[in-house]
Amino acid sequence: MSVADEFGARAQQMRQKAEQLEQAAERASDPAERERLKEKARRLQEQSKMPGDSGGIDPM
């Protein structure tokens, strides 16, 4: 498995976990817990995005 494949698989796992956290936040009765879960889901979504969307080439 290549590094790109491993990153893609890891990113997918992170997105799935973020979705689970969002669902848990919707079910949470405590507003503080709901916000904590939503924030954690948001951070996972951000981390799951592929770095270097420009293709790794830095146009001068």
pLDDT at 2: 80
Higher-confidence residue of 9 and 28: namely 28
**Backbone CA torsion sign across 35, 37, 40, 44:** negative
What confidence tens digit (pLDDT) does each residue in 17-60 have?
Answer: 999 999 999 999 999 999 999 999 999 999 888 665 444 444 44
- Collapsing DSSP to helix, strand or coil, 5 comes out as helix
The gap between the terminal CA atoms of the chain, to the nearest Å, is: 33
Which domain, by its residues, includes 26? Answer: 3-48
Distance CA 3, CA 1 (A): 7
Instruction: Report yes or no on 43 lying in a domain.
Output: yes
> Considering its fold, how many domains does the chain have in total?
1
41 domain-assigned: yes
Q: What's this model's pTM, rounded to 2 decimal places?
A: 0.72
